[in-house]
Structure 1
């Protein structure tokens, strides 16, 4: 167990950040699933804009790697274009 006041605070803040990151990542994955299950092209294009923004935000905050974000966006864009 930590002995310093700052270490205890760091433990608390790390847990809060971990939960926030987990929530954002899970929410993004849910939107990606929703996009993949969409058959309507117009709806998919609108949803793609939202999902791309969410993925960019995850990459910016180092929740996912920037190359992973780029790869996901590329695959989703191809998927929407093929509808």
Structure 2
């Protein structure tokens, strides 16, 4: 455990950030899973609605640096591509 005042503060901050990031990553996983389930069921309307919510959550996570911005864009793009395949 740290002894310096600044190191103790950094440790407290890292614990708070870790908790915040875990919440965000769990939310990402759940929303992306909802899109994938809708795609497997071939329900285009449900998939589009779930993608709208997932893209919002992914963009928010990227904005807050929980995940990289390009990773968020790549995930949204791949989900959209999968939805387009079942539409066709």
- Could you state the TM-score of these two structures normalised by the residue count of structure 1? 0.89
Indicate the residue corresponding to 2:73 in structure 1. 70
Unaligned residue ranges in structure 2 (runs of 5+): none
Q: Which SS does the other structure have where 1:3 is aligned?
A: coil
CA RMSD in angstroms comes to 1.2
Q: Residue 79 of structure 1: CA displacement?
A: 1.2
Indicate the residue corresponding to 2:10 in structure 1. 10
Q: Deviations over 1:21-73 (max 9, x none)?
A: 01111111111111101121111111111000111111111111111111111
Unaligned residue ranges in structure 1 (runs of 5+): none
Indicate the residue corresponding to 1:36 in structure 2. 36
Q: Residue 4 of structure 1: CA displacement?
A: 2.4
Indicate the residue corresponding to 2:20 in structure 1. 20
Q: Residue 5 of structure 1: CA displacement?
A: 2.3
Paired with 2:27 and 2:73, the residues of 1 have a C-alpha distance of: 18
Paired with 2:68 and 2:18, the residues of 1 have a C-alpha distance of: 16
Aligned residues: 83
